């Protein structure tokens, strides 16, 4: 039990000590915060380069203050060190501001040289430029603006030279090395044309960069070709030198070439013969390759045509599929409308882009056009039917039989159609342009007017749903 107590006590002491350290660290952070911010800003502004003396003194004093704090020296002395460090940091900021005015061109040239990796590819020039730039910064710290400006101009020129040299060395290094190797192998004599081509490409690249040091892509392309030709010249020089050692090496070279041609010919069942030299075999192989190329081009054209045709077929299928889907959806909607009515109430007819609801169960007393209350429930079903196609246009048609005066029949049919339209307008949220009414009188019979049954069928209200907008 005592042992457990001792462990617990030790843990408490450790935690207490940890809290004490955290408290000390927090106190130090607060004490140093403003001064550390000044130092960080100075470093971010490149004070080490633009105001080296002020930067060095500010850093030294800040580090001394840190050491003094750790050694628990006088707070007043630590504060004095930090204030002095801050003073140098502020001086550095002022010098940096002046440097961006007085030495702006030199700073820009230095940044360009850094981007070109001048320290790596133009070391001597870079170091010389840095020394001159440091003198410019030192003069600026001494408030000698005139001398600072002169050193700045000199540094700018050196940085620009270092940048160009670095770009050249970075891009042309591989080509120069390859050409140097070829020269050591006596390629100037043994592979004259290839070696000369490599040198010319190298010279062209140098002239290009001197005219426009930022034409990197074109320069890199030329330099790569120069490097290739340098390696090519070196290979040729070594091969030619080896061939010169023994006469049989020439035969081996020619046999090797024949072997290569035979291998190529075997790919299309052609056996070349070399008793008359290489020309015939080379032409045969070249002709076959040309035919393959022509066939490939024809296949590409045919493939493009087939792809286009396939796209049309797919587009047509998509259209047909969409039309079929629309048709099925429309047919399902029509079946839904039919389900609202009994055979004695209405007949639903679907023709073209029109659905006609023929209201068999809606009648009017002779010569009248007022809707009787007993038919309101039927018209409620009509409302449900119209809502199945809410974006369509609706037409209420009035029809009569052929008994009586044709003119009066037309007027009566128009009045009855208008009564139905007004009822639907009053009970539905319809725009007045969405539903119209018209009376046809006896003009459009659906049965013979010679029989009583036929005349009953002809006296009717048809509600037409136009599906053109669906």
Non-local CB neighbours of 413 within 8 Å, separated by 6+ positions: 398, 399, 400, 439, 440, 441
The CATH number linked to 398 is: 3.30.1330.60
CA nearest to 134, candidates 164, 103, 105, 163: 103
434 shares its domain with 419: yes
Backbone φ, ψ for residue 375 (5° rounding): -100, 0
Burial annotation 244-278 (CB, 10 A radius, 16+ → b, else e) = eeeeeeeeeeeeeeeeebeebbeeeeeebeeeeee
326 shares its domain with 405: no
CA nearest to 107, candidates 87, 78, 136, 77: 136
365 shares its domain with 437: yes
274 shares its domain with 384: no
Q: 224 has which bridge partners? A: none
Token reading at 463: 């509600």
206 shares its domain with 257: no
Instruction: Please give the Cα distance from 461 to 418 (Å, whole number).
Output: 10
Classify residue 186: in a domain, yes or no.
yes
330 shares its domain with 385: no
Which CA distances in Å does 66 have to 29, 80, 161? 11, 12, 43
CA nearest to 138, candidates 199, 222, 49: 49
Domain count, the chain: 4
Token reading at 428: 């539905």
User: For residue 253, what are the domain limits?
Assistant: 247-336
Classify residue 401: in a domain, yes or no.
yes
Classify residue 78: in a domain, yes or no.
yes
Q: Return the pLDDT at 408.
A: 94
231 shares its domain with 317: no
Classify residue 172: in a domain, yes or no.
yes
Cβ neighbours, 10 Å, residue 444: 13
Q: Return the pLDDT at 470.
A: 62
Nearest 5 degrees, angle CA 331-CA 336-CA 341? Answer: 125
Token reading at 204: 């062209």
Non-local CB neighbours of 126 within 8 Å, separated by 6+ positions: 113, 118, 119, 159, 162, 166
Non-local CB neighbours of 279 within 8 Å, separated by 6+ positions: none
Classify residue 360: in a domain, yes or no.
yes
Q: At what angle do helices 145-184 and 192-211 cross, to 10 degrees?
A: 170
Instruction: For the chain, 470 residues long, give each residue's pLDDT as a single digit of tens.
Output: 334 334 444 434 444 444 444 445 577 788 888 888 888 998 898 888 998 999 999 999 989 989 988 888 888 998 998 899 899 989 989 989 998 999 999 999 999 999 989 899 899 999 999 999 999 999 998 999 999 999 999 999 999 999 888 888 888 899 999 999 999 999 999 999 999 999 999 999 999 988 998 888 999 999 999 999 999 999 999 988 888 888 788 888 888 888 888 888 888 788 888 878 888 888 888 888 888 888 888 899 989 988 888 888 888 888 788 888 888 888 898 899 999 999 999 999 999 889 999 999 899 988 899 999 999 999 999 999 999 999 899 999 999 999 989 999 999 999 999 999 999 999 998 888 999 999 999 999 999 999 999 999 999 999 999 988 76
pLDDT in tens, 385-423: 999 999 899 999 999 999 989 999 999 999 999 999 999
119 shares its domain with 207: yes
Domain boundary among 215, 237, 259: 237
112 shares its domain with 211: yes
Classify residue 11: in a domain, yes or no.
yes
Classify residue 242: in a domain, yes or no.
no
Handedness of CA 419, 422, 424, 430 (dihedral sign): positive
Domain boundary among 61, 87, 102: 102
User: How buried is residue 347: exposed, middle or buried, by Cβ count under 10 Å (0-12/13-18/19+)?
Assistant: middle
Non-local CB neighbours of 282 within 8 Å, separated by 6+ positions: 261
368 shares its domain with 453: yes
134 shares its domain with 92: no
End-to-end CA distance of the chain: 89
Instruction: Please give the Cα distance from 446 to 99 (Å, whole number).
Output: 102
Domain boundary among 54, 85, 102: 102
Q: Return the pLDDT at 22.
A: 46
Instruction: Please give the Cα distance from 421 to 438 (Å, whole number).
Output: 10
298 shares its domain with 422: no
Q: Are 382 and 395 in contact (CB under 8 A)?
A: no
Q: Is 298 left (phi over 0), alpha (psi -120 to 50) or beta?
A: alpha
């Amino acid at each position: 039990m005592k042992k457990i107590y001792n462990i617990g006590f030790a843990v408490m002491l450790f935690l207490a000590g940890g809290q004490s350290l955290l408290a000390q660290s927090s106190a130090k952070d607060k004490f140093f915060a403003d001064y550390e911010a000044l130092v960080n800003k100075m470093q971010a502004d490149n004070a080490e380069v633009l105001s080296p003396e002020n930067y060095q003194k500010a850093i030294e004093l800040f580090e001394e203050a840190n050491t003094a704090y750790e050694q628990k020296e006088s707070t007043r002395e630590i504060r004095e060190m930090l204030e002095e460090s801050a003073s140098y940091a502020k001086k550095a900021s002022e010098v940096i501001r002046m440097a961006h005015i007085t030495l702006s061109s030199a700073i820009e040239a230095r940044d360009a040289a850094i981007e070109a990796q001048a320290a790596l590819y133009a070391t001597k020039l870079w170091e010389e430029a840095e020394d001159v730039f440091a003198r410019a910064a030192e003069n600026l710290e001494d408030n000698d603006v005139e001398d600072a400006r002169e050193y700045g101009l000199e540094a700018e020129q050196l940085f620009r030279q270092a940048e160009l040299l670095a770009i050249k060395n970075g891009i042309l290094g591989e080509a120069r090395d390859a050409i140097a190797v070829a020269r050591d192998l006596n390629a100037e004599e043994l592979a004259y044309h290839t070696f000369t081509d490599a040198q010319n490409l190298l010279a062209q690249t140098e002239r290009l960069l001197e005219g426009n040091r930022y034409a990197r892509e074109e320069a890199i392309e030329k330099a790569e070709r120069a490097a290739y030709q340098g390696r090519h010249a070196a290979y040729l020089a070594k091969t030619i030198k080896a061939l010169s050692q023994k006469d049989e090496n020439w035969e081996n070279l020619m046999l090797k070439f024949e072997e290569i041609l035979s291998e190529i010919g075997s790919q299309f069942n052609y056996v070349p013969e070399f008793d008359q030299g290489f020309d015939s075999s080379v032409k045969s192989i070249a002709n076959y390759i040309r035919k393959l190329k022509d066939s490939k081009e024809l296949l590409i054209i045919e493939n493009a045509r087939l792809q286009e045709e396939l796209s049309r077929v797919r587009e047509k299928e998509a259209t047909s599929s969409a039309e079929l889907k629309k048709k099925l959806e429309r047919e399902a909607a029509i079946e839904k409308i039919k389900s609202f009515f009994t055979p004695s109430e209405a007949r639903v007819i679907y023709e073209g882009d029109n659905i006609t609801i023929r209201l068999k169960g809606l009648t009017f007393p002779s010569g009248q056009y007022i809707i009787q209350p007993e038919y309101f429930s039927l018209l409620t079903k009509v409302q449900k039917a119209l809502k199945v196609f809410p974006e369509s246009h609706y037409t209420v048609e009035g029809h009569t039989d052929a008994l009586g005066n044709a003119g009066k029949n037309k007027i009566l049919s128009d009045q009855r159609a208008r009564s139905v339209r007004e009822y639907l307008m009053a009970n539905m949220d319809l725009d007045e342009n969405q539903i119209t009414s018209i009376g046809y009188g006896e003009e459009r019979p659906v049965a013979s007017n010679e029989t009583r049954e036929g005349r009953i069928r002809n006296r009717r209200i048809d509600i037409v749903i136009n599906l053109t907008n669906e």
